[in-house]
Amino acid sequence: MKDKYTEMWEKLNLDIEAHDALLEVLGKFYGDIYLSQENRVRGMEYLDFVISEIHGLRIKELEDAKKKGYKIIGTFCIFVPEELTIAANAIQVGLCAGAEAAKEEVEKIVPRNTCPLIKSFIGFKLARLCPFTESCDLIVGETTCDGKKKVYESFREYVPMYIMEVPQQKKINDRELWKSEVLRYKDKLEELTQHKITPEDLKKAIKIVNNKRRVLQRLNKIRSFIPTPISGRDVLLVNQISFYDDPVRFTEKISTLCDELEEKVKEKEGVVPQNTPRLLLCGCPMAVPNWKLPYIIESSGAVVVGEESCIGTRNTRDLVEESGETLEEMIEAIVDRYLKIDCACFTPNEERINNIISMAKELQVDGVIHYNLLFCQPYAHESIKIDKILREQNIPMLTIETDYGMEDVEQLKTRVEAFVEMISA
Ligand code: BJ8
């Protein structure tokens, strides 16, 4: 069926037939998981709209911005400093990596036992299904886990790539390396956009990105009340959309959503009953449209009240210090802020354990679910350690390892239900 955006998608070289089929499946999936929820606040209508237009209106906005001279930068990791991207007259977007695509083709170029997130972004490119990937002027990869850094060697045959080196430790010399990488990225952006970043540009961009993080912090604070006024699924969606939407508009809309949720808190109106078991979800990122586990959890009688993940608090916890006036001062502040990211790719990574314990306590959770994407070594290693430490703190934890397939849904449901029953008792 011809859509009003078909011509645009054709120009982007999408496989129109396969893309139509994808949108149809996604629409159905979204309806079942999101639109079927009860007691949803009005402010979520904006998020429903964004999702319904995510491959349409948002892509058109990007295409229009390109005509005005902006460049589009695609990313797979929260280490890429959006402040610099915005300051250089570019737009940063997270790339689709939350669903299976072109599996057989992908496994011809990456080992079968590669994490589904990596396979996904390769698959979306090979199958020509992601208009964000096709809109990008540059895709920025990073040397975080081994899977990603090796796959970028093949991926660069298909897309214009740039790699940032992320250190594996946080010693003084690692900070030096990271600072040089931040500066190298700045140079690369300036070369691409032909725009020399000024202190005014960077100051403004820091404010924009900080404000986006501030509104997400506010949302997290609101959901921490008992009973929580918003489902975990909806907050995950808000976090996912924060990687695609225009940051200023997104901040305004989520601020309105927060106003509405605050009213619910005042009235003690929860999205679920007061005694619903509260869970913290930790671990690997859940990129759009990876909603499988939150849906299973919340249809098993529990509610998710926190996401300790990159599509969650790991990306919003820390702000860039705003007092800098010179470029040098602001770059230093960016370097420091990004080095606080407690990704499992770091060794050691003690701050992550401490962050999980404080989140579990602040959010008054009854248990923790650690989510490992299949074949993700860094998070699988840390889940063993975290399980031991949480046990010592009397916080029950369940580890779930899964991929994007639906074959294990019933089995996961059984395990999650048993865990929820156990913590309820
Ligand atoms: S800062 S978590 S976004 S690297 S799940 S691809 S680690 S094998 S996504 Fe990540 Fe940046 Fe770290 Fe966050 Fe590898 Fe694991 Fe796959 Fe992963």
Three-state SS across 240-268? Answer: HHCCCCCHHHHHHHHHHHHHHHHHHHHCC
∠ at Cα 38 (257, 25), nearest 5°? 90
Helices and strands (DSSP H and E) totals, the chain: 19, 8
> 310, 286 in Cβ contact below 8 A?
no
pLDDT, residue 96, reads 75
pLDDT given at position 1 = 55
279 pocket-lining for ligand 1 (C-beta < 6 Å): no
What's the CA-to-centroid distance between 166 and ligand 1, angstroms? Answer: 12
Q: Kindly provide the b/e burial profile for residues 118-132, where b requires at least 16 CB atoms within 10 angstroms of the residue's own CB.
A: bbbbbbbbbbbbbbb
Q: Please identify, by atom number, the ligand 1 atom nearest to the C-alpha of residue 373.
A: 5
For 396, phi then psi, to 5°, come to: -65, 140
**What distance in Å separates the CA atoms of residue 288 and residue 308, rounded to the nearest whole number?**
17
Q: Hey, CA dihedral for 208, 310, 243, 166, is it positive or negative? A: positive
Distance 296 CA to ligand 1 centre (A): 23
Mutate-to-test residue for ligand 1 from 243, 345, 403, highest number of ligand atoms within 8 A of CB: 345
Measured in Å, residue 309 CA sits from the centre of ligand 1 at: 10
- Tell me the one-letter amino acid at 257: L
The Å distance, Cα 383 to ligand 1 centre, comes to: 14
**CB atoms inside a 10 Å sphere around CB 245:** 22
What residue owns the CA closest to ligand 1's atom 2? 343
Q: Is 341 in the pocket of ligand 1 (CB under 6 A)?
A: yes
Amino acid 3: pLDDT: 82
CB 127 within 8 A of CB 149: no
Which residues of the chain carry a pLDDT beneath 50? none
Which residue among 114, 145, 290 is best mutated to probe the pocket of ligand 1, counting the most ligand atoms within 8 A of its Cβ? Answer: 145
pLDDT at 217 (0 to 100):
98
Token pair belonging to 53: 């237009």
Does ligand 1 have an atom closer than 6 angstroms to the CB of 379? yes
The sheet with strand 278-283 has its strands ordered as 303-308, 278-283, 367-373, 397-402
pLDDT on residue 425:
87
pTM of this structure: 0.97
Residue nearest to atom 13 of ligand 1 (CA): 310
Beta-strand relationship, 278-283 and 161-164: unpaired
